[in-house]
Amino acid sequence: MKNIGVWLDKEKALVITIEDGIENMKKIESNIETFHIHGGSGTRFKGGPQDVVQDSKYLEREKHQTKRYFSNLVEEVDNADSLAIFGPAETSEKFKKELETSHRELNAKVKTVQRVDSMTDNQVKALVRDFFKDEN
């Protein structure tokens, strides 16, 4: 029985695999750029020239990077017998939606999607260990 717990946010994912009582942890970086949009006046004078901010370009790039991040994550957890997803923000829910639309066989193995705060690596390991201990 291969149980996998994933804690993920926009920066990284921690994949904890528990198989035959042995725990392994792997970190997957998201490589999603953080965009700092600088708009507004280019001068200190009122009514000076304005910078044009192209939000759609940044959002589109972020969407593609997120899709790539999720596909790397799916490759890592594809052989799970059961899967638990944890995370502090909406990234975990977006990952669950990606599984529902594109990876139905893996989506069927998802036992929970829980919102949890940011944690240390050891806290994440303990969370996953306790979750699957209670499941069995």
Amino acid 78: pLDDT:
92
CA angle, residues 133, 18, 78, in degrees to nearest 5:
120
Query: Which domain covers residue 75, as residue numbers?
Result: 2-33+54-135
Query: How much is the pTM?
Result: 0.82
Q: How many separate domains does the chain show?
A: 1
Q: How confident is the model at residue 14 (pLDDT cuts 50, 70, 90)?
A: very high
Is 25 part of any domain? yes
Residue 131's domain is classified under what CATH number? Answer: 3.30.420.60
Is 38 part of any domain? no
Is 77 part of any domain? yes
The C-alpha atoms of residue 34 and residue 107 are separated, in whole angstroms, by 28
Handedness of CA 58, 65, 12, 118 (dihedral sign): positive
Amino acid 50: pLDDT:
59
pLDDT (mean) for 2-13: 94
Is 119 part of any domain? yes
Amino acid 134: pLDDT:
77
Amino acid at 119: M
Digit-coded pLDDT (tens) for 45-58? 666 555 566 678 88
Amino acid at 94: K
Tokens of 24: 């392994």
47-51-52-56 Cα dihedral, nearest 10 degrees = -130
Is 41 part of any domain? no
Amino acid 39: pLDDT:
57
- The stretches of the chain forming alpha helices (DSSP H) are 55-77, 91-102, 104-107, 121-135
Digit-coded pLDDT (tens) for 56-113? 888 888 899 999 999 999 999 999 999 999 998 889 999 999 999 999 999 999 999 9
Q: How confident is the model at residue 37 (pLDDT cuts 50, 70, 90)?
A: low
Phi/psi of residue 48, nearest 5 degrees: -75, -175
